[in-house]
A and B are shown apart, each in its own frame.
Chain A
């Protein structure tokens, strides 16, 4: 019963705003848990910042109610302005694309004993659940420093939100909520791949999208439903990468095809990408770093339309704002206080010796996926580049730029980490590799769709009449500008 209540909260609380972004009820239901998570994050941050002597006793449920009411009000304002919906998901999509994702998710039945889950995410959820004063005290308590108190609160706040409607439900509900958030991100990642090339046969696109969705389990699969958040932020960010750098203009509103996508699809994609980036930036510090990379690369890509690029900096600002708030209440970071940073600043390059083992382990985790993506990209660029452009996909250099920058960031992290390199790699390199694998999978998927798509010239002829008959309208993100 507690799990059903938690599921209802996850869907209902975020549904109005999710609908305002997508304008399609099915896609909104898939997105809703992550929007609920963002609302819970806002409530937790507001509780930490605004709780004073008069408000310390106010429970998290009160803050969550206020933020949820505000989000519903915002949604009501947004939906008044008519917009074209994003492409919907039919029964066949749900069965073929999402049905198989539920099978590996059955691993959620395993006991909730994972270290990260108990010592970081569910522990932080208990801080939030205990109210404003306890939350602030916990952030600065030196005894809790091992628990990474500087980490963002997207997952813990969502779990604390679920606990408000399932009092005393404990860690099983926490594990289920963590898993639902990750499944929501995986489903949205698959959705972005599903609609990359509208002219591809629906069934083929569904199976390619299913492959992308299942690849969330490709590395560190034990963590997907065990309370870890690495797959959550990586899948959300990979979805944003597909929208911003692979398709970019191809998630078109219903009834719009071809060149009209450039006018309307871009804005719709941007709205969804902003939500997904916010999830990544507010879930884990690595997610924030990856969101910064995406924002920088997208700004370069949109250098002639900087107003558009501003959107992707909103999630970055939110992530940085939480970082400031946490530190203001005494949260410490093991990484930023590492002696190896001082060592490097003083000209001692000995820590750089840690880069070799890190790269070696990274290749061990991701080599097959990255290798396949490199080979396919080379064949594609040499032989199918024109076809890719004609189908409306962006050049493949953009997602590769994100992968390259993220790999540099990972290696730099392990170089300056205060821990013994063998131990640190053994306990985490698989999980930080997830984004690399998912982005490589997205690149592979995009080339497969390009390869199996009907000849673009024929598609253009076939759609010439509907294009002329369909007048492009403003898409959801236009309302946000």
Chain B
């Protein structure tokens, strides 16, 4: 057989396989998009269903905390968001509160008189935001 023809067949075969393999991620994304949320599934970053539940819970928490912030912070407020080791996922919540406070308030690097300190606590009452609660304390002079 002509070596040129063999090379063309080889390139086409390997290339088609590579392009098909490269499309696997897109297929996974499509099936993931169609998968329904299963409320109550154990959250788990390594399991697709658990990951979806984790995202759903986090989104619910964030939207609820955001609404609490909008209702709590007066125009012109200055806030401080500490890294609170007592909070589960402390760094993540410090960042999320910082982001959600902007531009409702000016975010300061340290606490002080009149500055509102924002933290997140675990909610044991059931009346918070899907397991977490916004805590605000205003610094005194």
Q: Across the interface, do B11 and A126 meet the contact criterion of CB distance under 8 Å?
A: no
Are B19 and A215 in touch, CB under 8 angstroms? Answer: yes
Q: Is the CB of B22 within 8 A of A441?
A: yes
Identify the stretch in B95-103, B118-126, B128-136 within 8 Å (CB) of chain A at 4 or more residues: B95-103
- Contact indicator B12/A104 (Cβ below 8 Å): no
Asked if A383 contacts B15 (CB within 8 A), the reply is: no
Q: Which residues of B contact A373 (CB under 8 A)?
A: 18
A454→B83 CA distance, assembly (Å): 65
Q: A123-B99, A383-B4, A448-B12 are in contact. Are A441 and B19 (CB under 8 A)?
A: yes
Chain B residues in 8 Å Cβ range of A216: 26
Q: Provide the main secondary structure of the chain A interface.
A: helix
Chief secondary structure at chain B's binding surface: helix
Closest chain B residue to A371 by CB distance?
B18
Q: Mark A422-453, 1 if CB is under 8 A from B, else 0.
A: 00000000000000010001001101101110
What B residues does A221 contact at CB under 8 A? 25-26, 28-29
Query: Given the complex of chains A and B, what is the CA–CA distance between A113 and B17 in angstroms?
Result: 34
Of A1-9, A28-36, A141-149, A330-338, the one with at least 4 CB within 8 A of chain B: A141-149
Interface digits, A123-150 against B, CB 8 Å rule (1 contact, 0 not)?
A: 1001101100010001001111011000
Q: Is there contact, CB below 8 Å, between B33 and A106?
A: yes
B29→A217 contact, CB < 8 A: yes
A130-B102, A379-B7 given as contacts; is B23 within 8 A of A214 (CB)?
Answer: yes
Asked if A444 and B7 make an inter-chain contact with CB atoms under 8 angstroms apart, the answer reads no
Chain B CB within 8 A of A119 CB? yes
Residues of B participating in the A interface, judged by any CB pair closer than 8 Å: 3-4, 6-12, 14-30, 32-34, 52, 55-56, 58-59, 62, 81, 92, 95-96, 98-99, 102-103, 107-109
28 interchain pairs, CB-CB under 8 A: A103-B30, A104-B26, A110-B52, A111-B55, A111-B58, A111-B59, A119-B99, A123-B102, A130-B103, A143-B107, A147-B95, A214-B22, A218-B23, A221-B26, A369-B21, A372-B14, A379-B7, A379-B11, A380-B11, A383-B6, A383-B7, A387-B4, A441-B18, A444-B15, A448-B15, A451-B9, A452-B8, A452-B12
